[in-house]
Structure 1
């Protein structure tokens, strides 16, 4: 007999995998990156700008993704 905890853990893992796959399948920014954040005007580090299509610094992007802006 299968332990209910094992079934719950397997379900949680499937849901996590589905959520990660959905996030990775979403549209990625492309094109040139800005040198300064469009929200707070702080400089965006070169390593982040190298990703392409970056318009916000990490703190502002985090707030945007959490729906606070």
Structure 2
């Protein structure tokens, strides 16, 4: 019976988002299941702390 206890659970899949200011500069990151509220969050492929305080590279965004 123990085999059934692990079969039904699913691991949450997190997506990564970057908060951009009005100039397109990255101000924060957030990893969560759904897009955060607000229009300035963009989805990125991964979190890279080197992007904080600068503009995101084009390859970072997920369209």
Question: TM-score if structure 2 supplies the norm length?
Answer: 0.24
Higher RCO, 1 or 2 (CA under 8 Å, sep at least 6)? 2
Q: From the two aligned structures, give the one with the greater helix fraction.
A: 1
User: Higher strand proportion, which one?
Assistant: 2
